[in-house]
């Protein structure tokens, strides 16, 4: 059993709006071992980014962790003071943002932006920091002659590589990738994913990968957590979850992807919309869209707990499973 790096226990992150509270993340738990990677998958607004931002404590000011615990290397960081947070961020946990968007400051040179966290967290000179930036450029396979360029002089793929270099700058133990390949074309996407995979293995880092694209998870993650409406509905080894999915939502999510070996047909979509998290429905939150719904158990009962029915680390939160097996 390898060492646990991050433990998220029953995390509840709510956004305060004028009419009340939006329960963006409502009771999410998972653990991540050293060197392991987990994928958070789900549609827009299911709480995957909010979960990640809660871990690095970067929620917008309306957002608040209202319950649960985040334990990093045995220390509870849920209520870490602002002062200590500055030391924690980037040094322990860094983030890979969407590079095609505006994650790099347009008026600063790329090398300065990468050197910034190094100079902030380590007591080294500017020249040494620049030497590190050069090494990082080599690591992510960027031309070191371009170090002194500005972000607009880079292509989307190059910018994404620079952002990865920036995330690695302080040798963090955990990297959070927030849709790192969205908005890149598929060829570049594949290159960036390969790069992330290689570097993660080389540097033995843990990773949380956030995406709505299951195929990215199967390429990069050991474990996957399928999220729906602020809750994890299925959690387990990636291969196990994808090939042997238990939750109806996961099944529908997988059938929403085209199969290149199968018959050519329109992919299935999941009809309906996710529920309003300001006023989430009673019972299972997926019940309204579930084709297997059993109105006697799914709706009247409480929200189903995440339980490992097989005893092999494959968790699922579904009343139907509970009733058939317990």
Distances (CA, A) of 253 to 233, 304, 305: 12, 19, 20
In the complex with other proteins, the residue whose CB is nearer, 136 or 232, is 136
Which of the ranges 105-113, 137-145, 234-242, 314-322 carries the binding residues for other proteins, by CB under 8 A?
A: 105-113
The answer for residues whose C-beta is within 8 angstroms of residue 20's C-beta and 6 or more apart is: 278
In the complex with other proteins, the residue whose CB is nearer, 94 or 303, is 94
Q: How many Å apart are CA 41 and CA 225, to the nearest integer?
A: 6
Tell whether residue 237 is a contact of other proteins (CB under 8 A). no
In the complex with other proteins, the residue whose CB is nearer, 107 or 260, is 107
What is the per-residue burial (b if ≥16 Cβ within 10 Å, else e) of 285-313?
Answer: bbbbbbeebeeebbeeeebbebeeeeeee
Nearest distance, CB of residue 58 and other proteins, angstroms? 6
Strand-strand pairing, 223-228 and 174-178: unpaired
Tell whether residue 98 is a contact of other proteins (CB under 8 A). yes
Q: How many Å apart are CA 256 and CA 212, to the nearest integer?
A: 12
Interface pattern 73-92 for other proteins (x via CB under 8 A): ------------xxxxxxx-
Q: In the set 75, 105, 155, 244, which binds other proteins (CB under 8 A)?
A: 105
3-state secondary structure of 280: coil
3-state secondary structure of 307: strand
In the complex with other proteins, the residue whose CB is nearer, 87 or 143, is 87
Nearest distance, CB of residue 5 and other proteins, angstroms? 18
Tell whether residue 103 is a contact of other proteins (CB under 8 A). yes
Tell whether residue 52 is a contact of other proteins (CB under 8 A). no
Q: How many Å apart are CA 276 and CA 225, to the nearest integer?
A: 21
The answer for residues whose C-beta is within 8 angstroms of residue 193's C-beta and 6 or more apart is: 181, 216, 219, 220
Q: In the set 108, 126, 131, 296, which binds other proteins (CB under 8 A)?
A: 108
Q: In the set 23, 121, 223, 247, which binds other proteins (CB under 8 A)?
A: 121
Give, as ranges, the residues between 124 and 163 that touch other proteins (CB under 8 A). 150, 152
Tell whether residue 101 is a contact of other proteins (CB under 8 A). yes
301-308: list long-range contacts, CB under 8 Å, 24+ apart. 303/27, 303/231, 306/29, 306/231, 306/232, 306/233, 306/235
In the complex with other proteins, the residue whose CB is nearer, 163 or 216, is 163
What residues make contact with other proteins under the rule CB under 8 A? Answer: 56, 58, 85-91, 94-95, 97-98, 101-108, 116-117, 120-121, 150, 152, 166
């Amino acid at each position: 059993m390898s060492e646990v790096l991050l433990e998220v226990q029953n995390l509840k992150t709510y956004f305060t709006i004028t009419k009340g509270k939006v329960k963006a993340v409502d009771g999410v738990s998972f653990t991540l071992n050293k060197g392991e990677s987990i994928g958070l998958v789900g549609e827009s607004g299911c709480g995957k980014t909010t979960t990640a931002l809660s871990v690095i404590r970067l929620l917008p000011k309306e957002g608040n962790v209202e319950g649960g615990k985040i334990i990093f290397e045995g220390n509870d960081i849920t209520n870490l003071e602002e002062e200590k947070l500055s030391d924690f961020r980037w040094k322990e946990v860094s983030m890979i943002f969407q590079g095609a968007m505006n994650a790099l400051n347009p008026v600063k040179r790329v090398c300065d932006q990468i050197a910034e966290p190094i100079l902030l967290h380590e007591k080294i000179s500017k020249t040494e920091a620049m030497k590190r930036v050069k090494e990082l450029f080599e690591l992510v396979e960027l031309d070191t002659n371009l170090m002194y360029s500005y972000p607009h002089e880079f292509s989307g793929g190059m910018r994404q590589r620079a952002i990865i270099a920036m995330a690695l700058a302080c040798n963090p133990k955990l990297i959070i990738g927030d849709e790192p390949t969205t908005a890149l074309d598929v060829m570049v996407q594949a290159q960036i994913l390969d790069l992330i995979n290689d570097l993660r293995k080389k540097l033995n880092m843990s990773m949380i990968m956030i995406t709505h694209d299951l195929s990215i998870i199967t390429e990069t993650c050991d474990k996957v957590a399928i999220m729906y409406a602020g809750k994890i509905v299925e959690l387990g080894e990636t291969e196990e979850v994808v090939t042997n999915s238990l939750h109806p939502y996961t099944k529908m999510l997988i059938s929403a992807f085209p199969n290149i070996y199968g018959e050519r047909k329109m992919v299935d979509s999941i009809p309906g919309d996710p529920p309003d998290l300001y006023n989430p429905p009673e019972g299972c939150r997926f019940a309204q869209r579930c084709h297997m719904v059993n109105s006697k158990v799914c709706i009247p009962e409480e929200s189903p707990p995440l339980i490992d029915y097989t005893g092999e680390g494959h968790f699922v939160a579904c009343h139907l499973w509970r009733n058939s097996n317990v």
